[in-house]
Amino acid sequence: MSLRLLITGATGQVGWHLQRTLAPLGQVMAIDVEQVDLTDLEALFRTVRDFAPDVVANAAAYTAVDKAESEPELARALNVNAPARIAEECARRGALMIHYSTDYVYDGSKSGPYEEDDATGPLNVYGQTKLEGDQAIAARGCASIILRTTWVYDIRGKNFLRTVLRLAREREELRMVGDQIGAPTWARGLAEATTIILAKCCERRANAGTWPSGIFHLTGGGKTSWAGFAQAILEDYDSLVSWPAEMGEFGGQLKAKRVVAITSDQYQTPARRPLNSVLSNAKVESTFGIVMPDWRSQLRLAMQDAIR
């Protein structure tokens, strides 16, 4: 079965990879703000209606966590109103909506990994708008796969990996938060897992006549702190840069060799973050057979892609 697939957020970390991983499943149309302003709900509606997709992968979002505190209306427009409009059109035409959500819908007070049915309690505007987006999609009644993930990074775009490498070229030592725990998730691994999930959704639709729906956690395996993540980046970079490497962003030596862990109180930000962002992948494993690689092995693969 060849699908018609619409991807939003085409130039974002996940959307960029989705264009490549989803291509074997059918005809892909990828849009970003240059093609469609997602705050213009009628333009968004017309785009979905005119392309008539079987599946919409909504990888677009307002993700500037701290800035959202001063731009709640824009965050809500992109994280709530736009997904709700897409969901309405998906419901009308019987299409499946794949949507990406976040660990920030939880308050981080749980001692162990979060399950999908645990109580939510966002600590910031970003988390609140993402939760409202999840709820708005469910309320529209379309078939939907909502994937909550954590600490997404890539070798392109604006993210923690590239920030660490930039700072490590400027400083002898890095100070990073050590009391917030989560699972770094490579954007490409997330896109590849999404493609497997979609293929299995197609099988179930062919057998049962309907798309499956639900909220699922999908993150890198294991856990670490931001400080631990940063230290791993430095270690992998140093071990790989001895390869023949271009002298660019991912070439040459770093000044910083160690990371000092600090507390959240020592690094004040406009938006509060959950201390525990670890999500259980048990449901996505049992439902779709997806076993996500450990975050450390994902990081090394990402670094290998960057350093040539």
Cα dihedral sign, 274-278-279-280: negative
Q: DSSP letters along the chain, please?
A: -PEEEEEESTTSHHHHHHHHHSGGGEEEEEE-TTT--TT-HHHHHHHHHHH--SEEEE------TTGGGT-HHHHHIIIIIHHHHHHHHHHHHT-EEEEEEEGGGS-S--SSPBPTTSPP--SSHHHHHHHHHHHHHHHHT-EEEEEEE-SEE-SSSSSHHHHHHHHHHH-SEEEEE-S-EE--EEHHHHHHHHHHHHHHHHHHHHHHSS---EEEE---BS-EEHHHHHHHHHHHHHHHTTSS--SSTTSS--S--EEEEE-GGGS--SS---SB--B--HHHHHHH---PPBHHHHHHHHHHHH--
Catalytic residue among 126, 153, 237, 267: 126
Q: Is 126 a catalytic residue?
A: yes
Q: Catalytic residues, which ones?
A: 126
